[in-house]
Amino acid sequence: MTGGAAERVAVATDQDVVRVRQLVRTVAVAVKLSLVDQTKLVTAASELARNTLVYGGGGTVEVTRVDNGRRSGIRIVFADKGPGIPDLDLALTDGYTTGGGLGLGLSGARRLVDEFDIETAVGEGTTISVTKWCR
């Protein structure tokens, strides 16, 4: 699998979440994702970037074009050095929230992408990597 150049956005304010969304949309158009998949990926990126900001206290988002030989796609990595997630299963339950939201961001984002990886350690931070492939 080969990857293209990564584009990195620091997430520290609400405006940065908008920038992440715009960057993801630009790259999604460039790899020719369908309109539905573009919208799904942008929405997932919006959720996860906001989680990085709200729960992780800010961090970075890295957007990379990837290619596994058969299909091209996009990988987005959200990294923060926040408090981490103590109970991952609970956090991935629909409707569970600690921040007053709908509690669908993390679990919903997982349903919006093709691959979803999460690494978290309490006190060390959380890294979430998602990939969406062209159909």
Partner 1 sequence: MALSSDRSGRFADLLKGHEDAIVASWTDAVAASLRGRLSQAELYRQASELQRGFQAAFDGGAQDLEDDAAAELRAQLSELSSTRARQGFTANETAVSVFTLKDAVLRVLDEGEGADAAVLREYVAFSSFVDRAGLFTFDSYTRAREELIADQAEQLLELSTPVVKLWEGVVAVPLVGTLDSARAQVVMERLLETLVETGSPYAIIDITGVPAVDTQVAQHILKTVVAARLMGADCIISGIRPQIAQTIVALGIEFGDIATKSSLADALRHVLRMTGDKVAQKPRREG
Query: Which spans of this chain sit near partner 1 (rule: CB under 8 A)?
Result: 14, 18, 21, 25, 35-36, 38-40, 42-43, 46-47, 50, 94, 101-102, 104-105, 107-109, 111-112
Compare residues 83 and 101 and give the one whose CB is closer to partner 1: 101
Cα–Cα distance between 41 and 29 in angstroms, integer?
11
Compare residues 115 and 124 and give the one whose CB is closer to partner 1: 115
In whole angstroms, how close is the CB of 13 to partner 1 at the nearest point?
11
Helix, strand, or coil (residue 47): helix
In whole angstroms, how close is the CB of 35 to partner 1 at the nearest point?
5
In sequence order, what are the residues at sequence separation of 6 or more whose Cβ sits closer than 8 angstroms to the Cβ of residue 49? 11, 16, 17, 20, 21, 61, 78
Compare residues 92 and 118 and give the one whose CB is closer to partner 1: 92
Cα–Cα distance between 120 and 128 in angstroms, integer?
8
In whole angstroms, how close is the CB of 54 to partner 1 at the nearest point?
10
Q: Give first-to-last CA distance, the chain, whole Å.
A: 17
Instruction: Please classify residue 69 by burial: count the beta carbons closer than 10 Å to its beta carbon, then call 0-12 exposed, 13-18 middle and 19+ buried.
Output: exposed
Compare residues 94 and 124 and give the one whose CB is closer to partner 1: 94
In whole angstroms, how close is the CB of 124 to partner 1 at the nearest point?
26
